[in-house]
Amino acid sequence: MLGLLVLAASALPLAWHYLVSYPRENWQVDLEVYREGARAIVTGFPLYDVRTVQPQFLPFTYPPFAAFTALPLLIAPFSVVGWIWTVLQCALLWWTVGIAFRLFLSRFGHRAGLAQGVLAAGGVWLLPVSDGVRFGQVNAVIVALCLWDVTRRSRVDGSWAGGSGVGVALAAAVKLTPGVFWLYWAVARRWKVLATSVGTAALVTIVSWFLLPPASATYWTDALLDPGRLGPNGGTSNQSLRGVLLRIGPPEGSLAFTAVNLLLVVAVLVAALPLARRFDRLGEPVAVVAVVGMAAYLISPVSWVHHMHWGVVVIGALLGDGRDLRRAAVAFVGAVLLWIRMPWWGANLLAGNEVPNAVARIVQNSYSWWAVLSLLALWLLVARKQQLPAEGSEPTSEGELSSARS
* pLDDT value of position 90: 97
Three-state SS for 50? coil
Question: Would you place residue 141 in the very low, low, confident or very high pLDDT band (cuts 50, 70, 90)?
Answer: very high
**Helix orientation angle between 191-211 and 166-174, rounded to the nearest 10 degrees:** 40
Gap between the Cα atoms of 350 and 364, Å rounded: 8
For the ranges 75-79, 145-149, 346-350, 385-389, the lowest mean pLDDT is seen at 385-389
* pLDDT value of position 388: 76
- pLDDT at residue 400 is higher than 80: no
CA dihedral 153, 154, 156, 158 (to 10 degrees): -30
Q: 50-79: b or e for each residue (b if 16 or more CB lie within 10 Å)? A: bebeeeeebbbbbbbbbbbbbeebeeeeee
Maximum distance among all Cα pairs of the chain, rounded to whole angstroms: 62
Three-state SS for 160? strand
* pLDDT value of position 401: 44
- pLDDT at residue 154 is higher than 90: no
Q: Which of 230, 126, 130 is nearest to 176 (CA)?
A: 230
**Helix, strand, coil proportions of the chain in percent (round to 5)?**
75, 0, 25
Distances (CA, A) of 199 to 106, 142, 202, 203, 281: 36, 18, 5, 6, 24
- pLDDT at residue 399 is higher than 50: no
Gap between the Cα atoms of 72 and 243, Å rounded: 33
Query: Which contiguous run of DSSP H or E holds residue 373?
Result: helix 366-377
pLDDT tens digit sequence for 110-127? 999 999 999 999 999 999
- pLDDT at residue 300 is higher than 90: yes
Strand intervals (E) in 243-326: none
- pLDDT at residue 371 is higher than 90: yes
pLDDT tens digit sequence for 343-369? 999 999 998 888 899 999 999 999 999
Q: How many CB atoms are located within 10 Å of the residue 404 CB?
A: 10
Question: Does residue 55 have a cis peptide bond before it, meaning omega lies within 30 degrees of 0?
Answer: yes
Gap between the Cα atoms of 397 and 153, Å rounded: 10
* pLDDT value of position 68: 96
User: What are the counts of helices (DSSP H) followed by strands (DSSP E) for the chain?
Assistant: 21, 0
Distances (CA, A) of 372 to 80, 271, 378, 394: 39, 10, 10, 30
* pLDDT value of position 393: 53
* pLDDT value of position 403: 40
pLDDT tens digit sequence for 78-91? 999 999 999 999 99
CB 133 within 8 Å of CB 15? yes
End-to-end alpha carbon distance in the chain: 29
- pLDDT at residue 404 is higher than 50: no
pLDDT tens digit sequence for 209-242? 999 999 999 999 988 888 888 888 999 999 999 9
Q: Tell me, what amino acid is at 180?
A: V
